[in-house]
Amino acid sequence: MSDLTATNQQILDFQAQLEAQDTSFPMLSVLNNDGQIVDEEALKRADLSDEDLVNIIKRMLLSRQLDIRSTKLAKQGRFGFFAPTAGQEASQMASSYAFNDDDWLMPGYRDIPEIVVKGWPIWKAILWSRGHVLGNEFTTEEGKPVNAWMPQIIIGAQYVEAAGIALGLKKRNKDAVAYAYTGDGGTSQGDFYEGMNFAGAYKANAVFFAQNNGYAISTPRSLQTAATHLAAKGWAAGLPSIVVDGNDPIAVYLAAKEARAWATSGKGPVFIETLTDRLEPHSTAGDDPLRYRKQADIDAWWQKEPLIRMRKFMTEKGIWSEEQESAYIDEVNALIDEQIKIADKVDKQKISNFIKHTLEVPGQAMTEQISKFESEGK
C-alpha cells in the first residue's frame, strides 16, 4: 500500500491540530507585572496621553472602591445581588475606555462598573441590585439616555442582544458599535455562539469580550472545555479572535481600540479573550472560593492584579503618586456615601407597583388586583 500524500497525512494528524491550537493564539502584552513596557511600538500604537492614563487608573480605582463598598453593603443586608470585580479592573475599565457614548454596552451582572462610567448613577446601580424598578432606568442624573442595557443575568444572552443592536447600527450607517462582556463560563452557553455567529454572518458592528477569570462559579476553566484558548471559539463563527493579558490595562485598551476601528469600518465583529482572575467569591450569595481553589493560588494572583503594574508604571513616569491616589479614593468614597443616601431615600416598592410594572397595559384581572392592594396600602 502506497503512503498517504503529505497533504492528507497532515489533515489526518489530529495531534498536530491540537498542538496548532495552542500556538495559534499568542497573548497580547504591553505592560508587564513589574510595570515595565515590553513593546514600545504597541504603546505608541495605543496612543494614550498622560491624561488618558490618569483617566484609566481612576476608572480602575473607582471599580475597586465600588467592589469594596458593595461587598460591605451586601454583608450588612443593604445591597442585593453583587458579583465582585476585584482583579478584573483592566479587563473591564481599560477596555471600556476605548468606546464612547454612542456605543452600546451589553453587560453581564459583573459589569456594573462599565455602566457607571458611561454615566449611570451609582444610586441606580444600588437600586438595581435591590430589584427596584428605578434601577432599570438607564439615564444620567440629568436625564440623558445611557446607551446600555440592564446587566444580563442569563449567562451569555447579552451576546445575542449585542448582535441585534450591532446589526441595527450597521444598517443605519452609524459610527458606533455594540460591545458585550461575558465570563469564561459564558462561552459554554449556546447564546454565546449564536450571538457571534449572527453578528459575523452580517458583519455587524460588534466587539465581544470574554473575561477568562478562571472559574465559572466553582467550575475551573480546565473543566469547561477542551479548547486550549477560548478565543478559538470565535474562529468557529468566522471572527478575528485574540488573547490579551487581561491584567495589562494598556494591552486591553489597545485590543479594544483596534477591534472597534475594525468593526466600524464594515469588516465585522471581533472576539477578545482577556486572561485575568477573579480574586474574590463569585458573588455575595454564599459562595466560598476556598471550597474549589487554594488560598495560595488566590494570593499569587493578588500579586499580579492590574492596579499594581499600572501604579508602578505611572509612578515611574511621574504622572501618579500615592498622595493622588489617596485623595481620589477619598473622593470616590464620598461620592459613594452620597449615592447610598439617595438610594436609601427612594420609596420602597409595593405589591401594587410590581403588578403595574408587569405589563404596559394591565388586563382586567391585574387591574382588579392593583385596586385591591392599593386599597390596603400595599
Q: Give me the active site residues, please.
A: 278, 282, 292
Angle at CA 289, nearest 5°, toward 35 and 149? 75
Beta-bridged to residue 139, according to DSSP, are: 145
Which residue from 38, 41, 84 is spatially nearest to 63, judged by alpha carbons? 84
CA-CA distance, 213 to 223, in Å (whole number)?
A: 14
CA-CA distance, 156 to 169, in Å (whole number)?
A: 21
CA-CA distance, 150 to 106, in Å (whole number)?
A: 8
Find all residues with CB under 8 Å of 214, minimum gap 6, and list them. Answer: 184, 220, 221, 276, 277, 278
Count Cβ atoms within 10 A of the Cβ of residue 4 and give its class: 0-12 exposed, 13-18 middle, 19 or more buried. Answer: exposed
Question: Rg of the Cα trace of the chain?
Answer: 23
CA-CA distance, 344 to 336, in Å (whole number)?
A: 12
- Produce one character per residue of 232-257: b if its CB has 16 or more CB atoms within 10 Å, e if not: bbbeebebbbbbbbbbbbbbbbbbbb
CA-CA distance, 286 to 296, in Å (whole number)?
A: 21
Residue listed under C-alpha cell 441585534: 164
